[in-house]
Structure 1
Amino acid sequence: MIPFSPPTLTEDDINAVVEVLRSGWITSGPVGRRFEERIAEVSGTTGAVALSSATAALELALRAAGTGPGDEVVVPAYTYTASASVIDHVGAKIVMVDSEPGSPFPSVERIAAAVTGRTRAVITVDLAGIPFDSRPLATLLAGRGRIDAGLGAALGRPVIISDSAHSLGARLDSYPTGSLADLTAFSFHAVKNLTTAEGGALTWRSDLPTDQEALERWVRTYSLHGQTKDALAKSRGASWEYDVIAPAYKCNLPDTLAALGLSQLDRYARTLERRRELLAQYAEGLAGTGVTLLDHGGDGVVSAAHLAIATLPVADVAERNRVIQDLYEAGVSANVHYKPLPLLTAYRDLGFDIADFPGAHAFYSTELTLPLHLALSDADVAQVCTALATALRRSATRGTVSAA
């Protein structure tokens, strides 16, 4: 079986974690700080705070923007739940926007049209590793939204937060992911290009008009129960005493996990290069099958190549799912990214109706995500392409292949 997305772990990764375990200091500490420095370097920013997940990073970004009850936050309907659930966590109203026809992404104009006088922030999503260009969005939002205080007041518009869970190491023109939006959340979950098993980070662009040292202190403090000193600082001599300035959260990243990420960063450029090679092989191998791969090139785009998203020439969800089953029986594990949020019970219960998001629903209905990971050989890619072509021929015999 060709698996969908296993992590790639080397002896260097294992040794890095063992070294931390043997050091006797396994919670957040010096290794985590080195990891943060490297993440800031990769993302073209002046600072980063390592956290337990990208979800934690997104929620802290919203709180740093001053988001709370009475506010609205705009988010795409075509994304994973973490992009939107954090809006509910802080007590704000979720405002979803549809995708453009034939695309999983909303346009900046569609996002801007959803902004009201109550909009505190906008969350964009770098789906599949493709960076979303928030620069024209920032221009469209100037002078709009709830900008009565905090970071929004300094910006003169709603705060733009990027869910960059898929896009560490991507670039748009000369701008690395992390330097495009105001605040950026990364994920290091087990299926991501770079993993710490579980983990994430929050960064901010280097010219963000705020006291960035104060912002970093705030994020660190709120990730440690609101405590003004971490465990390492408290362990030094008589400096144990601390304060708690808010009843906050516990979402820091320990050195044991940071060590894994730090080790993987040493080969990350090669990781991205190979993933891009695999995408190119899929494009070549699927030519003539009617399959359309999501474009990772674009004008000035250098993708992180996280997902191989394909649109199939099939009629509907049921036939797409039959293709997935055919692939499985042929020894290939595939997936779907994503069910639009209004199809999920949690968001239906909040009053969202998929009928209001036809673009997102149409893209989802024929979407298939192919295996993309470093354990794939060139022969594996060829096998996947052959299996998919065979599955689509079976669809044709069932009379369910789309005329498109």
Structure 2
Amino acid sequence: MIPFSPPTLTEDDINAVVEVLRSGWITSGPVGRRFEEQLAQWAGTSGAVALSSATAALELALRAAGAGPGDEVVVPAYTYTASASVIDHVGARIVMVDSEPGSPFPSVERIAAAVTDRTRAVITVDLAGIPFDSRPLATLLAGRGRIDTGLGAALGRPVIISDSAHSLGASLEGTPAGSLADLTAFSFHAVKNLTTAEGGALTWRADLPTDREELARWVRTYSLHGQTKDALAKSRGASWEYDVIAPAYKCNLPDTLAALGLSQLGRYEQTLQRRRELLAHYAQGLADTGVQLLEHGGDGVASSGHLAIATLPVPGVTERNRVIQDLYAAGVSANVHYKPLPLLTAYRDLGFDIADFPHAYAFYTRELTLPLHLALSDADVDRVCAALAGSLRHISHNSAGSAASAA
């Protein structure tokens, strides 16, 4: 069986974690700080704070933006729940926008049209590792939204937060993901290009018009129950005294997990290169099948190559799901990224209707995500392509037979 997305763990990774375990310091500490320093370099930012998940990073980003009850936050309908659930967590109103026709992404114009005088922030999404260009959006939003206090007031517009869970190492015209939006959340979940088993990070633009050192301190404090002194600081002096400035959260990343990420960063350039090679191999192998792969390059785009997202030449969900079954029978695991949020019970219960998001739904009905990971060989890609082509021929033949019978 060709698995969908197993993590790649080396002996160096294992030894890095073991070294931390043997050090006697296993919670957040010096290894995590080194990890953050290297993350900031990859993201082209002035700083980063490692956290327990990208979801935690997104929520802290919203709180740093001042989002809360009475505010609105705009988010794409075509994304994973984490992009939107954090809006509900802070008590703000979720405002969803549809994709463009034939795409999982909304345009900046569509996002801007959803902004009102109650909009505190906008969350964009880097699906599949393709960075969303929020720079034109920043221009369109100038002087709009709720910008009465905090970071929005300094920016003169709603705060733009990027859900970059897929895109560490991606860039647009040489500008790294992490420097395109105001605040950026990365994920290091087990299926991501770089993993800490579970984890994430929050970064910010190097020229963000705020005290960036104070922002880093605020994020660290809020990730540790609002406590003003962490365990490492308390262990290095005679004073144990600390304060708690807010009833905050517990979402820091321990050194045991940071060590895994730090080790993987040491070979991350090679990781990105191989994933891009695999995507190119898929494009070649599927060239005559009618399958359209989501574009990962061109126009200054350097994707992180996180997901191989394909649009199938099939009528809809029934046939797409049959392809997934056929692939599994042929020894290939595939997936779908994603169900648009209004299809999910939680968001239907909030009043969202998929009928209001026809482009997101249309893209979903024919979307298929193919295996993409470092254990995948060129021969494996050929096998996936052959299995997919065979399934599509079978479905086309059956459809033609059904049409002839009906006639």
Question: Per the shorter chain, which TM-score range?
Answer: over 0.9
2:91 corresponds to 1:91: yes
The structural deviation recorded for 1:398 is: 2.0
5+ unaligned residues in a row in structure 1: which ranges? Answer: none
Query: What is the SS of the residue equivalent to 1:270?
Result: helix
Task: Note the 1:277-288 alignment, pairs <5 A.
Answer: 277-288=277-288
Answer yes or no: is the 8 Å Cα contact 1:188–1:198 preserved in 2: yes
Paired AA for residue 316 in structure 1: G
Amino acid of the residue matched to residue 185 of structure 2? Answer: A
Secondary structure in 2 aligned to 1:96?
A: strand
Deviation at 1:236, TM superposition (A): 1.8
* Cα distance between partner residues in 1 of 2:305 and 2:320: 23
1:161 aligned to 2:161?
yes
SS in 2 for 1:131: coil
3-state DSSP of counterpart to 1:310: strand
How far apart are 1:235 and its partner, in Å?
Answer: 1.0
In the TM superposition, residue 400 of structure 1 has moved relative to its aligned partner by: 7.5
* Range 194-203 or range 296-305, more displaced: 296-305
SS in 2 for 1:147: coil
Corresponding residue for 1:310? 310
1:235-254 equivalence runs, <5 A: 235-254=235-254
**1-side partners of 2:149 and 2:298: how far apart?**
37
Q: Is the 8 A contact 1:315 1:400 kept in 2?
A: no
Amino acid paired to 1:108:
V
Distance 2:120 2:136 in 1: 18
Select between 37-46 and 232-241 the one with higher mean Cα deviation.
232-241
SS in 1 for 2:80: coil
Specify the alignment match of 2:176 in structure 1. Answer: 176
Report the counterpart of residue 116 of structure 2 in structure 1.
116
Report the CA distance between 1:321 and its aligned residue.
0.2
Does 2:59 correspond to 1:54? no
Alpha-carbon distance between aligned partners in 2 of 1:67 and 1:340, rounded to the nearest angstrom: 24
One-letter amino acid of the structure 1 residue matched with residue 18 of structure 2: V
Cα offsets for 1:72-122 (capped at 9, x unmatched)? 000000000000000000000000000000000000000000000000000
Aligned-pair CA distance for 1:68: 0.2
Note closer, same or farther for the CA distance 1:70–1:301 as it changes in structure 2 (3 Å cut).
same
What are the residue-to-residue correspondences of 1:3-402 with 2, within 5 Å?
A: 3-399=3-399
1:25 deviation in Å? Answer: 0.1
Q: Tell me how far 1:245 sits from its aligned partner.
A: 0.3
Q: CA deviation at 1:56?
A: 0.0
Q: Is the 8 A contact 1:296 1:305 kept in 2?
A: yes
* Post-superposition offset of 1:298: 2.9
Aligned equivalents of 1:79, 1:398: Cα separation in 2:
33
Offset at 1:30? 0.1
TM-score by length of 1: 0.99
Displacement, 1:239?
2.1
Amino acid of the structure 1 residue aligned with 2:390: T
Residues 359-384 of structure 1 show CA distances to partners (whole Å, capped at 9, x for unaligned) of 00000000000000000000000000
1: CA distance between counterparts of 2:236 and 2:168?
35
SS at match of 2:297: coil
Q: Distance in 2 between matches of 1:7 and 1:290?
A: 30
- Name the structure 1 match of 2:405: none
Name the amino acid aligned to 1:18: V
Alpha-carbon distance in 2 for matches of 1:318, 1:237: 64
Matched positions, count: 402
Name the CA shift for 1:38/1:397 in 2 (closer, same or farther; >3 Å): same
5+ residue gaps in structure 2? 402-407
What RMSD in Å do the two structures reach over aligned CA positions? 1.0
Q: Deviations over 1:296-331 (max 9, x none)?
A: 013110000000000000001011000000000000
Sequence identity percentage: 87
Deviations 1:164-183 (A, max 9, x none): 00000001002000000000
Query: Quick check: 1:319–1:400 contact (8 Å CA) kept in 2?
Result: no
Question: Shift of residue 238 of structure 1?
Answer: 1.2
3-state SS of 2:298 partner: coil
SS of equivalent to 1:360: helix
CA distance in 2, matches of 1:395, 1:137: 42
Runs of 4+ more than 3 Å apart: none
- 3-state SS in 2 of match to 1:398: helix
DSSP-derived class of the 1:399 partner:
helix
| Cα distance in 1, alignment partners of residues 200 and 170 from structure 2 | 16
Letter paired with 1:143: G
Contact kept in structure 2, 1:43 and 1:179, CA below 8 Å: yes
Q: Is the 8 A contact 1:99 1:360 kept in 2?
A: yes
SS at match of 2:399: coil
Q: C-alpha distance in 2, partners of 1:16/1:29?
A: 14
Deviations along 1:49-84, one digit per CA (max 9) or x if unpaired, are: 000000000000000000000000000000000000
Per-residue displacement from partner, 1:235-294 (whole Å, max 9, x unpaired)?
123121100000000000000000000000000000000000000000000011000000
Post-superposition shift, 1:143? 0.2
How far apart are the structure 1 equivalents of 2:95 and 2:29?
A: 38
Query: C-alpha separation between the residues in 1 aligned to 2:119 and 2:216?
Result: 24
2:258 is paired with a residue of what secondary structure?
helix
